[in-house]
């Protein structure tokens, strides 16, 4: 080993400064020759003879020098560098070829690297917590009702926590915003509402101070808060005495007990958290803690070491069975479902990202096929050069090595430019990525991604370099040398390889185009679907009332009445109303209800509908039509008889073949669950969950009879959004200057944002498909052009023998179409497989959508024909005289 290292060190040293050593050896050989000559002269030879004999005795001087050089230096690297230098020269001599090849490859590598950086950050990087594979999310599920996973209630969570033996700790998290006052303007802070064990589960330490203690989670404990390092360094001006001071959140003082490091994020939360408070102190959810019904609490935990998720599932199954028999009203039919936290966080983004990665991989494959084709073409015209090299003694492996060095240089150039493109691509992607993508902030071109790019370009260069290199090195020296131009006598094999590659490009492009076409059609259907309301000219804003100041429902109603009266007095605002929640933008509230006098057919036949609390003018502002009966009016106040409106789907599902008007419903929701509501009218359906989900049953109640501690305003106006926003702010602050107005925006923008993930993947897949189409077209163009130039002779003869130009054109176009159809033939089944893979992303069209397939086939054929037409025209204009003289 030691001697090996010494040898290598010596070789490297010599290789770094070779000139002196070579000269030294030349001198040494000279001296040796002189001594041999002397000896020969002593033996009686003439000087001439003595020199000759000496040279024979020593052996070939050049060879000796060569051997010595190789022995002393690093011949492998040297030949590679030599090849690389030569390759650079060759590439510089063909700038057109080089530019096309390098750019094609750079686009492929760049796109792949950019997408991979997203895939890596979102799917592959482990969660930023200690032993992340121990972290598990726990949901409640109800298969009978088709609820795959939802939250639980606090009493249920307490039972889970107390009864299980598989979790080291369980915790909950919720997220909303609170108003921070007392430090300049009122501000909204991102608030994580947690149970005290939150930090223990994630195994994190505070930067300063402490995390929550179990006592902090008890009812009646003094309110405490943990702040983020960012909030501390920013708004709190890095006050050194921050621990023990108090922050005013929603008009209530919280004592600061700790600071979390800036890098720490709570799971499931995409915004930067600024404060953490115990659930029991939360003005929103704190009051819900006593209720066993309801599914609002997100639970996660850390498994004990060595406990598998399957074991934990068995234990939780037993616990949920116990709960179902103990509290049948709330827990009958509900089970617990455990999901690894990483999987839960990534969610359904996974498939979309993998589809994109697959698509961009196909683009690279097409790019490689294209470059392989270019190289094959070039190899054919270089066959004479290769033959000369072979004749001069280059072995097959040496020639392959040289050709591969050329492709390696190409690959390296493409890789470097590709990585540069990827940096730009990632920046572009980041602005394009939907905000709700998990781990969004972790996406960057880091070392791992760079290694990926490097490996990718290496694989790519071998992929597109090997085929032509093998072909070229196999060429027959004799025939190649004999050919004058070195191009007309192309081997059939090579032509087949080129045609194969071009057809393969068509097939791959077909797959991408069909996938993109399907997504595009889905997306246009999705965005043109009627949501059931008219979002035009509506601005939405949210006002949240601090519960400590506005604690009584009467205060909530009074506030909203006053605000609506103020807004209606504004001349620029046409119409204003309140709706909680506003469809699509605010999520939905799914509630159970009973029909008075009609017991459910069976225990499991539960009645659920989405619940909305609205002011009387809501339907007018939103453009939701009244189908029968009446709307709410100003008389439907708290003291008046309780009323409700139902949607068309509600009426059809729960009152088939009857008139629901006059029937009474009782809700499992305050303020007065025992007071049944009379149905006074039926309104049109609304897509309230998302544009992609069919409208479900909905029930509306008057805000005056079922107020909330805040309001979502919908304001119709032809004024600009900023003017409307300013007007709303002004009116809100007239009533209470400490109230923040949040989530402001045009309703159409909210609808747009709700399909951002679909838009993102449609756009990217469309982009990749367009790249594939262009690459495939260039591929066809290259193959046909080359074929035409090889057949110039033949075409000349045909024309001389009387073939018309139209015949020639037809001949070349037939060649083009044959290639295209071969590609389509293979492409259709591949495309069908691919479209089944993305089937669940489609909306409103079938997986085997014939229109998309036909449109793609026609597009590809047209583009290929156009690509073939340019060289075909050239063939048409061949002058037989010149063509025949061509050789």
Which parts of this chain interact with another protein (CB under 8 A)? 3, 6-7, 10-11, 24-25, 27-29, 31-32, 34-36, 38-39, 57-61, 63-64, 67-68, 70-72, 75
In terms of CB distance, is 295 or 401 closer to another protein?
A: 401
- What span, in angstroms and rounded, lies between the C-alpha atoms of 375 and 367? 12
Instruction: Determine the Cα–Cα distance for residues 733 and 590; give it in Å rounded to an integer.
Output: 32
Cα–Cα distance, 645 to 632 (Å, whole number): 8
Query: Rounded to whole angstroms, how far apart are CA atoms 96 and 94?
Result: 6
Please provide the DSSP assignment of 608-635 as one string: EEEEEEE-TTHHHHHTPPEEEE----TT
Residue ranges of the alpha helices (H) in 713-791?
721-735, 747-754, 756-790
What is the rounded distance in angstroms from the CA atom of residue 178 to the CA atom of residue 189? 5
Q: For another protein, which is the closer residue by CB, 78 or 385? A: 78
Nearest-angstrom CA–CA distance, 836 and 859: 21
The label of the residue with tokens 């032809």 reads 718
**Least Å from the CB of residue 40 to another protein:** 12
Q: In whole angstroms, what is the distance from residue 418 CA to residue 192 CA?
A: 41
Q: Are strands 608-614 and 698-702 parallel, antiparallel or unpaired?
A: parallel
Task: Tokens for 339, please give them.
Answer: 């999901």
Is 11 or 161 the residue whose CB approaches another protein more closely? 11
Query: Token digits for 2?
Result: 């030691």
Question: Closest distance between another protein and the C-beta of residue 50, in Å?
Answer: 14
Q: How far apart are CA 379 and CA 381, in angstroms?
A: 5
Cα atoms found within 13 Å of the Cα of residue 432, Cβ hemisphere only: 16
Q: Which residue has the tokens 């950050």?
A: 121
Q: Which is nearer to another protein, 67 or 131 (CB)?
A: 67
| Of residues 39 and 749, the one with the C-beta less far from another protein | 39
Residue labelled with tokens 């989530």: 743
SS3 per-residue string spanning 565-600: HHHHHCCCEEEEEEEECCCCCCCCCEEEEEECCECC
Q: How far is the CB of 75 from another protein (least distance, A)?
A: 7
Phi, psi of 114 (to 5 degrees): -60, -50
**Minimum CB–partner distance for residue 389 and another protein (Å):** 19
Of 21 and 767, nearer to another protein (C-beta) is: 21
Nearer to another protein, 12 or 628 (CB): 12
Nearer to another protein, 29 or 236 (CB): 29
Q: What is each CA distance from 773 to 610, 675, 786, 833, in whole angstroms? A: 46, 65, 20, 19
Q: Smaller CB distance to another protein: residue 71 or 318?
A: 71
CA angle 54, 59, 61 (to 5 degrees): 95
Give least dist CB 484 to another protein, A. Answer: 37
| Least Å from the CB of residue 32 to another protein | 5
* Least gap, CB of 57 to another protein (angstroms): 6
**CB 679 within 8 Å of CB 733:** no
Tell me the closest approach of the beta carbon of residue 1 to another protein, in angstroms.
Answer: 12
Please identify, using beta-carbon distances, which residue of 13 and 482 lies nearer to another protein.
13
Using the structure block, give the residue that is written with the tokens 């609304």: 686
Nearer to another protein, 35 or 881 (CB): 35
């Amino acid at each position: 080993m030691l001697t090996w290292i010494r040898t290598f060190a010596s070789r490297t040293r010599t290789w770094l400064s070779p000139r002196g050593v070579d000269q030294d050896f030349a001198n040494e050989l000279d001296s040796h020759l002189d001594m041999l000559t002397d000896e020969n002269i002593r033996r009686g030879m003439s000087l001439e003879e003595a020199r000759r004999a000496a040279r024979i005795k020593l052996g070939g001087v050049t060879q000796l020098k060569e051997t010595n050089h190789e022995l002393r230096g690093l011949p492998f690297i040297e030949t590679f560098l030599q090849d690389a230098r030569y390759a650079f020269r060759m590439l510089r001599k063909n700038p057109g070829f080089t530019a096309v090849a390098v750019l094609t490859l750079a686009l492929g590598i760049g796109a792949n690297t950019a997408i991979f950086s997203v895939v890596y950050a979102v799917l592959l990087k482990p969660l930023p917590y200690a032993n992340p594979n121990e972290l598990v999310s726990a949901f409640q599920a109800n298969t009978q009702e088709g609820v795959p996973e939802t939250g639980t209630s606090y009493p249920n969570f307490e039972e889970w926590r107390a009864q299980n033996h598989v979790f080291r700790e369980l915790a909950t998290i919720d997220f909303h915003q609170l108003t921070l006052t007392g430090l300049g303007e009122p501000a909204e802070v991102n608030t994580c509402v947690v149970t005290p064990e939150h930090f223990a589960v994630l195994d994190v330490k505070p930067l300063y101070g402490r995390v929550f203690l179990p006592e902090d989670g008890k009812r009646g404990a003094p309110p405490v808060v943990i702040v983020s390092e960012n909030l501390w360094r920013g708004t709190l001006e890095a006050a050194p005495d921050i621990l023990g001071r108090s922050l005013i959140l929603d008009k209530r003082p919280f004592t600061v007990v700790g600071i979390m490091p800036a890098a720490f994020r709570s799971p499931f939360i995409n915004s930067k958290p600024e404060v953490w408070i115990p659930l029991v102190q939360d003005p929103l959810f704190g009051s819900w803690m006593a209720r066993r019904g309801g599914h609002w609490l997100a639970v996660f935990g850390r498994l004990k070491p060595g406990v598998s998720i399957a074991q934990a599932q068995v234990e939780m199954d037993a616990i949920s069975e116990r709960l179902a028999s103990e509290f049948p009203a709330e827990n009958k039919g509900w089970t617990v479902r455990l999901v690894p936290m990483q999987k839960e966080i990534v969610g359904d983004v996974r498939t979309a990202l993998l589809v994109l990665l697959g698509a961009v991989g196909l683009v690279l494959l097409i790019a490689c096929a294209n470059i392989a084709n270019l190289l094959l073409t070039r190899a054919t015209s270089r066959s004479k050069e290769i033959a000369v090299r072979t004749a001069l003694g280059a072995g097959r492996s040496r020639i392959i090595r040289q050709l591969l060095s050329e492709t390696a240089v190409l690959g390296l150039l493409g890789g470097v430019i590709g990585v540069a493109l990827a940096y730009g691509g990632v920046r572009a992607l980041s602005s394009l990525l939907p905000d709700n993508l998990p781990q969004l902030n972790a996406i960057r071109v880091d070392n791992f991604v760079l290694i990926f790019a490097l490996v990718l370009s290496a694989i790519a260069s071998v992929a597109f370099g090997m085929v032509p290199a093998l072909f070229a090195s196999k060429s027959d020296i004799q025939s190649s040398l004999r050919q004058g131009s070195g191009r007309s006598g192309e081997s059939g094999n090579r032509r087949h390889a080129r045609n194969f590659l071009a057809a393969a490009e068509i097939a791959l492009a077909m797959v991408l185009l069909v996938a993109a076409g399907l997504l595009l059609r889905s997306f246009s259907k999705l965005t043109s679907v009627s949501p059931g309301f008219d979002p035009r000219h509506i601005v939405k804003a949210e006002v949240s009332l601090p519960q400590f100041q506005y604690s009584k429902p009467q205060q909530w109603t009074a506030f909203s009445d006053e605000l609506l009266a103020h807004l209606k007095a504004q001349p620029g605002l046409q119409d204003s109303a309140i709706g909680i929640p506003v469809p699509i933008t605010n999520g939905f509230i799914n509630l159970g209800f009973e029909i008075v006098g009609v017991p459910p057919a069976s225990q499991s036949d539960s009645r659920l509908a989405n619940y909305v609390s609205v002011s009387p003018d809501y339907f007018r502002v939103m453009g939701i039509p009244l189908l029968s009966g009446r709307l709410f009016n100003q008389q439907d106040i708290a003291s008046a008889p309780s009323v409700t409106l139902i949607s068309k789907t509600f009426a059809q599902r729960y009152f088939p073949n009857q008139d629901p008007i006059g029937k009474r419903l009782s809700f499992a929701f305050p303020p007065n669950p025992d007071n049944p509501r009379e149905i006074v009218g039926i309104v049109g359906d609304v897509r309230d969950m998302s544009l992609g989900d069919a409208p479900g049953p909905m029930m509306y109640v008057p805000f005056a009879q079922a107020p909330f501690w805040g309001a979502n305003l919908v304001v119709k106006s032809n004024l600009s959004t900023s003017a409307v926003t300013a007007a709303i702010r002004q009116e809100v602050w007239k009533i209470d200057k400490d109230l923040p107005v949040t989530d402001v925006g045009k309703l159409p923008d909210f609808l747009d944002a709700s399909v951002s993930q679909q838009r993102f993947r449609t756009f990217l897949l469309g982009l990749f498909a367009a790249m594939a189409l262009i690459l495939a077209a260039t591929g066809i163009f290259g193959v046909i052009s080359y074929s035409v130039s090889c057949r110039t002779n033949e075409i000349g003869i045909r024309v001389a023998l009387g073939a018309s130009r139209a015949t020639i054109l037809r001949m070349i176009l037939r060649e083009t179409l044959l290639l295209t159809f071969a590609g389509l033939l293979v492409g259709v089944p591949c495309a069908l497989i691919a479209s089944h893979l993305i089937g669940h992303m489609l909306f409103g069209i079938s997986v085997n959508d014939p229109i998309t397939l036909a449109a793609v086939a026609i597009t590809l054929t047209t583009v290929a024909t156009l690509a073939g037409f340019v060289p075909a025209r050239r063939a048409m204009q061949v002058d037989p005289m010149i063509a025949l003289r061509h050789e």
